[in-house]
Amino acid sequence: MPGSKPKFYLTTPIYYTNGLPHIGHTYTTVVADAIRRYKRMRGYEVVMTTGTDEHGVNVERAAQKAGIPESEYVARMAVAWKALWDELGIPADEFIRTTDIQHVRTVQWLFKLCRENGYVYKGIYTGQYCIYDNAFVTEAKPGDNCPDCGRPTETVTEENYYFKLSAFQKPLLDFYKRNPAFIQPETRKNEIISFVEGGLKDLSITRTTVRWGIPVPGEEPHVFYVWFDALTAYLSAVGGPEYEKRGFWPCDLHLVGKDIIRFHAVYWPAFLMAAMLPVPRQVWAHGWFLMDASKMSKSKGNVVLPRPIANMLGMDAMRYFLMREVVFGQDGNFSYDALVTRYNSDLANGLGNLASRTAAMIEKSFGGKIPKPGPRLPQDEALAKAVSETIGEALDRFEKFEFARSLEAIWAAIASADKYLTSEQPWALGDSEADTQRKATILWTTAELLRVVTVLAHPVLPESTAKVWTLLGQPGRVSAVELDGLRWGQLAAGAQLGRAQALFPRVDKQEAIERIEAMANEELNPTQPPAPAAAPAPVATTGGAAAAPAPEKIGIEDFTKVEMRVGQIKTAERIVGADKLLKLTVDIGTEIRQICAGIAQFYEPEKLIGRKVAVVVNLAPRKLRGVESNGMIVAASVGPEGRPVLAGFPDEDVEIGARLK
Ligand code: ME8
């Protein structure tokens, strides 16, 4: 019955807009997405919120540097953040911007409630402030650096509104005691409890030295302190003052990095208690992904970007790595080497290989229909029992956010299928009735194991498990399977296998790393300005980005600068991780060139071999998706979607290398 499902509300931090997402932000958002998918498969109605934290001095300065108004700066950044989450398949159900009007109203309302209840007063503040962390550094003297980020603090004197945080020491400690699962993991809980036990100072929650913020009504030029503003976004996203109508408050889970646990586990519940609003159920602080043992930052030049990894290995590979490699809650090191190693061993050789060989054997022996199993031998029963236990263990671990352990259990089942096939050797059986029946049992058992691991791994590997589901000819969508009803033995015989799709093609480690790094380099240091959002996509090209505006007419001398020749395509192949590009080798008369062309969705590589095309031969070489391209194939761009149609020479026998004039 619609509306009868239990509700679950979870959030990621509301990320700062003075930079773009890196793998650290992606980590929190990926985990949130996996929990969302898991909870949906457990029957919940789920809302996941992420968004952008758009106020404060940092944004003022970044906008100034970019030479544009703050509102324009944050609008651009919010579009970029949202677009990336959408592109990576981890979109929010609610994307909240702290400049949204519903949010502004919620912050002002929360302040009013705190004030009416006697928890706000006016005072003078002089002290050191870290503009990067947006926090007062009470222990610092003028000239000191911030103990958290190491950057210089600034001395600030201003009249502020204070929040009586000191009044919440006891209520918070009582609350932690009554709700032992509120702060997770345990180490963070202990940290916070001793921090609160050490005494709480009142907190200044408005500023007069900052212009770019939410105004305190009737108290201009006071604007709200960014943390009072940003934390409230969690509530604004699900109704603000009308939160009861949607029924998603209190929040079930705030996922955050350990850097911001204090704001979430101390300030935020105190603000809500002061306003007499319900307090969230849990704050979960995970560790950091480090690069060469230090935290990533653009200034250190050690930032890992998500897009190049998703382009090269697929988003599922990145999700798997992030959730498998590091115990949730602890710090971990990020390395491309470990990423590609896991990709090849666990995904290409593990899940991908099991799926393709199971399908191939069923295809060969049973015409692509899942066979009806015959009598079971002890080894079949043993496997069934082990996988039944895997279901319990994988779900139990996931429920406790022990993601690495959950995946480990699922992958142990995959390994046991490989072992089972090696010992049972279905390929060595003949065509007698007894052998066929035995083969049917073995292949049904393997396919059933594959079905179970596909369901269990779905929250972490949504795209590839959906492909395996289709391959197994299973009805409906894998995301609609109810985890609570998952049991060994539910695979129906007779289902016709579906279309096989490439899952995780093996990659050469060195080449893959080089290509990821080249793409990351391209993204961090673009050689060409990005094309405007509305411009049609580049066609068959090495150039790609928009050139400087051209004068209306050009002289012949300009045209002759472009050297175009007839070339003949010698080889053509797809590029792993770049579904629009083909890698071609083209004979241009004087030499054979490697050229990438964005035509993969419209031309079959095999059919291009031998075809004569027009080639721009004097373009500077560049890398596309990390693959070197040395020239450009000319094509018309047809229709609103810019379908490429190759320019060619159908009627005449033209010589390879002939110049186009
Ligand atoms: O703190 N490893 O925003 P922020 C793991 N606007 N996670 C990382 C990470 C890393 N190396 N780097 C970042 C803010 N994160 C505030 C939040 S919420 C009301 C306001 C993740 O853009 C992690 O979740 O600095 C961390 O807490 C968050 O990004 C910080 O994002």
Q: Region 143-158: what's the mean pLDDT?
A: 87
| Closest approach atom of ligand 1 to CA 230 | 19
Residue 152: CB partners within 8 Å, gap ≥ 6? 143, 144, 145, 146
Lowest-confidence pick of 30-34, 236-240, 292-296: 292-296
Q: Which of 148-162, 204-218, 310-324, 638-652 has the highest mean pLDDT?
A: 310-324
Ligand 1 centre from 13 Cα, in Å? 6
pLDDT band at 531 (very low <50, low <70, confident <90, very high): very low
- pLDDT at position 91: 97
Distance set, CA 391 to CA 118, 409, 472, 486 (Å): 52, 9, 19, 8
Lowest-confidence pick of 347-351, 596-600, 641-645: 641-645
- pLDDT at position 499: 85
- For 577, which DSSP code? T
- pLDDT at position 524: 85
pLDDT band at 519 (very low <50, low <70, confident <90, very high): very high
Q: Region 87-116: what's the mean pLDDT?
A: 98
Using a cut of 0.85, tell me whether the model's pTM lies above it.
Answer: no
Give which of 564, 532, 571, 556 is closest to 657, Cα–Cα: 564
pLDDT, greater one: 125 or 119? 119
Q: Does the CB atom of residue 53 touch ligand 1 within 6 A?
A: yes
Q: Does the CB atom of residue 296 touch ligand 1 within 6 A?
A: yes
- Cα(172)–Cα(247) distance, rounded to whole angstroms? 24
- Cα(129)–Cα(349) distance, rounded to whole angstroms? 52
DSSP string spanning 371-422?
PPP-PPPHHHHHHHHHHHHHHHHHHHHHHTT-HHHHHHHHHHHHHHHHHHHH
Residue 381: CB partners within 8 Å, gap ≥ 6? none
pLDDT band at 545 (very low <50, low <70, confident <90, very high): very low
- pLDDT at position 48: 98
Q: Does the CB atom of residue 267 touch ligand 1 within 6 A?
A: no
| Closest approach atom of ligand 1 to CA 231 | 19
Tokens, residue 52: 């952008």
Give which of 171, 175, 172, 163 is closest to 118, Cα–Cα: 163
| Closest approach atom of ligand 1 to CA 255 | 24
pLDDT tens digits, 185-225: 999 999 999 999 999 999 999 998 889 999 999 998 999 99
- Cα(174)–Cα(168) distance, rounded to whole angstroms? 10
Give which of 148, 593, 160, 644 is closest to 584, Cα–Cα: 593
Q: Does the CB atom of residue 628 touch ligand 1 within 6 A?
A: no
Average pLDDT, the chain: 91
- Cα(301)–Cα(289) distance, rounded to whole angstroms? 15
Cβ pair 129, 156 in contact under 8 A: yes
DSSP string spanning 160-182?
EEEE-GGGGHHHHHHHHHH-TTS
Ligand 1 centre from 94 Cα, in Å? 18
Q: Does the CB atom of residue 288 touch ligand 1 within 6 A?
A: yes
Lowest-confidence pick of 379-393, 406-420, 489-503, 552-566: 552-566
Q: Are strands 289-291 and 332-333 parallel, antiparallel or unpaired?
A: parallel
Residue 27: CB partners within 8 Å, gap ≥ 6? 286, 289, 322
